[in-house]
């Protein structure tokens, strides 16, 4: 399984990378939505972990563009924001799940489950 972590905070990317290292083949990183879209178009990783608030292109717009490239893309939003609008919007654009960063410890188990599908 190949995963793309998209977050402007290098510490968050590093933490997620450490959590997933034992069962993921390749882990790639991008610091903004624009480079994430370009990376996805070129390499099509199995799962994308996408932050929302980033420079150049936010995670919602980046997810929307990725879904236009590949309607079956598995994008998981990982964000500090937690309100009904954000959750509704991420579903509307095609993200498969929404995790608050405070619940990031639940990511590995969820990714193991979706990797079987």
For domain 2-102, the CATH superfamily is: Response regulator (3.40.50.2300)
Does the global pTM surpass 0.85? yes
**Structural domain spans, the chain:** 2-102
The answer to whether 88 and 77 have CB atoms below 8 angstroms apart is no
**pLDDT > 70 in the chain, percent:** 99
Q: How confident is the model at residue 117 (pLDDT cuts 50, 70, 90)?
A: low
């Amino acid at each position: 399984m190949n995963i793309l972590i998209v977050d402007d905070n290098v510490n968050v990317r590093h933490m997620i990378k450490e959590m997933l290292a034992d069962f993921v083949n390749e882990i790639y990183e991008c610091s903004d939505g624009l480079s994430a879209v370009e990376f996805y178009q070129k390499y099509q990783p199995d799962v994308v972990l996408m932050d929302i608030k980033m420079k150049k292109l936010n995670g919602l717009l980046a997810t929307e563009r990725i879904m236009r490239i590949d309607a079956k893309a598995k994008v998981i939003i990982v964000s500090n924001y937690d309100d009904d609008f954000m959750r509704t919007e991420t579903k509307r654009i095609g993200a498969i799940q929404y995790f608050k960063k405070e619940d990031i410890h639940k990511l590995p188990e969820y990714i193991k489950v979706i990797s079987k599908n």
